């Protein structure tokens, strides 16, 4: 099990960020991803393997004043 934006998500061996975002129906612009508070560059999304127990955060720009 991993955490994705604070919620539990099933984990499997070899899961990478690109796959995870696809599973989550990623449609966002300007997203950034951190694993265990460490920033992952977009070009590494399909090679960055998520480990069991990792805390994954996807952050983006949204409306605000």
Partner 1 sequence: MIKPLTIAGREIRSRLFLGTGKFSNSTVMARALEASGAEIVTVALRRVEFDNPQDDIIAHIDQKKYLLLPNTSGARDAEEAVRIARLARAASGWNWLKLEVTPEPNYLLPDPVETLKAAEILIKEGFIVLPYINADPVLAKRLQEAGCAAVMPLGSPIGSGRGIKTADQIRIIIAQATVPVVVDAGLGLPSHICQAFELGADAVLLNTAVAAAQDPVQMARSFKLAVESSLAGLESGPMSEGEAASASSPLTGFLR
Report the C-alpha gap between 7 and 55 in whole angstroms.
Answer: 9
Listing DSSP states for 7-43 in one string gives EEE---TT-BHHHHHHHTT---SS-EEEETTEEE-GG
φ, ψ of residue 13 in degrees (nearest 5)? -60, 130
Q: Which of 1, 6, 12, 13 binds partner 1 (CB under 8 A)?
A: 6
Q: Report 19-38 residues binding partner 1 (CB under 8 A).
A: 24-32, 34
Binding of residue 10 to partner 1 (CB under 8 A): no
CB of 51 to partner 1, least distance (A): 21
Binding of residue 62 to partner 1 (CB under 8 A): yes
Enumerate binding residues for partner 1 (CB under 8 A). Answer: 4-6, 24-32, 34, 39, 57-65
């Amino acid at each position: 099990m991993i955490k994705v934006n604070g919620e539990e998500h099933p984990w499997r061996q070899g899961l990478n960020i690109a796959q995870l975002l696809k599973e989550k129906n990623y449609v966002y612009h300007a997203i950034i991803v951190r694993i265990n508070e460490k920033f992952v560059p977009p070009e590494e999304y399909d090679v960055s393997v998520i480990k069991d127990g990792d805390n994954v955060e996807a952050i983006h720009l949204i409306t605000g004043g």
